[in-house]
Amino acid sequence: MSNNKEKPVTSISFADVVNQTITFSRAISAEKLVLDLIDTRWFQRMRGIAQTGNTNLVYMFSEHSRFGHSVGVAHLACQLVERLSRQNPERVEQYRSAVCAAALLHDIGHIAPGSHAAYKTWFPSAPDVHEDLSVKLIKSDSQLQSVFDANAPSSAELVCKILIESEDLPAWTWQIISGGGWNVDRGNWCIVDSVMAGVNYGRYNIPALVESIVITDSGQLA
């Protein structure tokens, strides 16, 4: 008799305008966490959140979403943390899953289809607090919490600390995502937004830059 049992899915790939293909492996704990978080309702909701607001009114192909942007940011974070972990496993590995998850979830607090533009329209006198909303969602949503509990129970708290740039953590953990120089968030949207708009601004050699990044003795990203 033939064995008709389905083989378990060991990795999932996404088509990408910059990398051609983005692949996350379930054999790597940090990437498995990313894949499980992608399947949650709050992350899937970002398929309907515009990455560049109303830019498509001028650049008609700028129709991409926060979903694709965030998957790309997580991919960059996973690549960078994997490299940094090879160099400094004792400093990096304990934060690896949390950094990758924080990169993926950094934008789930966007509340409107138009992202920043919509928020400024609805709340013209209020500061943009999508990072704070991201943290509140991570802390309060039962589905997100169950994913963290099943994969890395301590990571949810670390993710929230990374997103608020907590002084309790080594600076490099949040500088990867929101540091003042290059970071994986800016590193993705600079090139993806320019590709989707059909302009040349913002394009650069991602692999070369990632290979040049190190953690200094003081715990800074450089």
In the chain, where the domains are located: 16-212
pLDDT at 2 over 60: no
% of residues, the chain, pLDDT over 70: 91
Nearest to 93 by CA among 82, 79, 102: 82
pLDDT at 130 over 80: no
Please list the active-site residues. 130
Give φ, ψ of 94 to 5 degrees. -65, -20
* Residue range 158-173, pLDDT digits in tens: 999 999 999 999 999 9
Q: Which tokens go with 201?
A: 């601004």
Distance, in Å, from the CA atom of 99 to the CA atom of 66, rounded to the nearest integer, reads: 18
Distance, in Å, from the CA atom of 125 to the CA atom of 160, rounded to the nearest integer, reads: 26
The fourth-level CATH superfamily of domain 16-212 is: Hypothetical protein af1432 (1.10.3210.10)
What does pTM read for this prediction? Answer: 0.91
30 contacts 45 by C-beta, under 8 angstroms: no
CB atoms within 10 A of CB 25: 16
